[in-house]
Structure 1
Amino acid sequence: MGMFLGSHHNRIDAKGRVSVPASFRSVLKAQAQPGEAFVILRPSHLHPCIEGWTASGFATLAAPLAEYDPFSEDHEDLAASLYADAWPLDSDREGRILLPEALRQHAELQNEAAFMGLGRVFQIWEPAAAAARRQEARARARTLTARRRAPAEAGEA
């Protein structure tokens, strides 16, 4: 199974279309089943960015909903947050997708988009926000690594 790797910048045209990076297109095409959308986009719950999912990845994301009573408020809240703002999209022949206005507003996108690979999912950011997020993530990762190392080193002493 392919993964979404790397960071890429692409221009958004006047119609709101952006080219999906070639390496990301390869992953999306390889994992798509007949009749499925090329990609499913949704606003991130945590950040001002857009998440990009394969259809199978999105199904896995939504799988825990089955654990809730389908008539409960919890199920309805989770279903609404997952499905109501999700956009299944296909690309054109040039590999471009049309970014829905609501998603562009959520991510504060204007003329450029930064694609960030996160393994099984990718994100689309405003470029300066993407750079700041990568810097923040690296700093937090160093802290997490140091915390995980500390108990192991204490046991060795």
Structure 2
Amino acid sequence: MGIMFRGVNPINLDAKGRMAIPARYREMIASHCSNQMVATIDTESRCLLLYPLPEWEEIQAQIEALPSFNKVARRIQRLLIGHATDLELDGNGRLLLPASLREYAGLDKKIVLLGQGRKFEIWDEAQWSATRDEYLDEVGEDTLPPEMLELSL
């Protein structure tokens, strides 16, 4: 089955930019990727993407395989791979987020770690709340992809 992250987790960043990964994920991360993670920017939203190293390596291979003569593909390669940063959970289950990534996502003290299956997203708490409310306002049958209409939730 592989790794599966889900849930919304409010977290406080400390003064050095470290975030504690919630305890319920730590064992999974330790056994799946020996605490080796990769963070990069999301090109669609002002948030960060946090992958276990093996998942990131698959994604990076796919990004590198895109045709570099295509302007959009080149842009994605530069942004995602260029910002990708190797991170390791320390003995206390914390990750140090570099200043450049924190700045991109506007991360201050209160952040949200959002489970998204094979990866996490890291949001500024206020930004996530606003984005979530926007999403809730937009959800309607006319905007859902046909595949979603077949799900019984």
Give the TM-score normalised by structure 1: 0.78
User: Given the alignment, which residue of 83, 106, 120 partners 2:81?
Assistant: 83
Pick the structure with more helix per residue: 1
List alignment gaps of at least 5 residues for structure 1.
153-157
1:31 matches 2:32: yes
3-state DSSP of counterpart to 1:2: coil
SS class of match (2:117):
coil
Question: Counterparts of 2:59 and 2:142 in 1: how far apart (Å)?
Answer: 24
Give the aligned partner of residue 100 of structure 2. Answer: 102
Supply the distance in 1 between the matched residues of 2:142 and 2:55 (Cα, whole angstroms): 26
Report which of the two structures shows the higher radius of gyration computed on alpha carbons.
Answer: 1
User: Is the contact made by 1:39 and 1:90 (CA closer than 8 Å) also made in structure 2?
Assistant: yes
Residue by residue, what CA displacement relative to the aligned partner does 1:54-91 show, whole Å, maximum 9, x if unpaired? 1111122123245446xx44475443223210011011
Give distance in 2, aligned partners of 1:10 and 1:32: 22
Pairing 1:116-135 to 2, within 5 Å after superposition: 116-135=114-133
SS at match of 2:114: strand
Tell me what 2:135 maps to: 137
> Residue 145 of structure 1: CA displacement?
7.2
- Equivalent residue runs for 1:40-55 within 5 Å: 40-55=38-53
Q: Which runs of 5+ in 2 are unaligned?
A: none
Shift of residue 14, structure 1, vs aligned partner: 1.1
Q: Which moved more, 1:109-118 or 1:21-30?
A: 21-30
Q: Alpha-carbon deviation of 1:119?
A: 0.9
After TM superposition, the score normalised by the length of structure 2 is 0.80
Q: Deviations along 1:42-64, whole A, 9 cap, x unmatched?
A: 01111111110011111221232
In structure 2, relative to structure 1, the CA distance for the partners of 1:77 and 1:27 (3 Å cut) is: same
CA RMSD after TM alignment: 2.7
- How much identity, in percent, do the aligned residues show? 26
Cα distance, 1:112–1:32 mapped onto 2, change above 3 Å: same
Q: Specify the code of the residue in structure 1 equivalent to 2:11.
A: N
Residues 63, 143 of structure 1: CA spacing in aligned structure 2 closer, same or farther, 3 A cutoff? farther
**What CA deviation, in whole Å up to 9, does each residue of 1:7-64 have, x standing for no partner?**
111111111111012233333223215xxx6210001111111110011111221232
SS across alignment from 2:5: coil
Q: How many residues align?
A: 146
Post-superposition Cα deviations, 1:132-153, rounded to whole Å, max 9, x if no partner, equal: 223333444544675628x98x
Give me the whole-angstrom Cα distance separating, in 1, the residues matched to 2:130 and 2:121. 14
Q: 1:57 to 1:143 in 2, by over 3 A?
A: farther
Say whether 1:15 aligns with 2:13. no
Q: In 2, Cα distance between the equivalents of 1:141 and 1:23?
A: 30
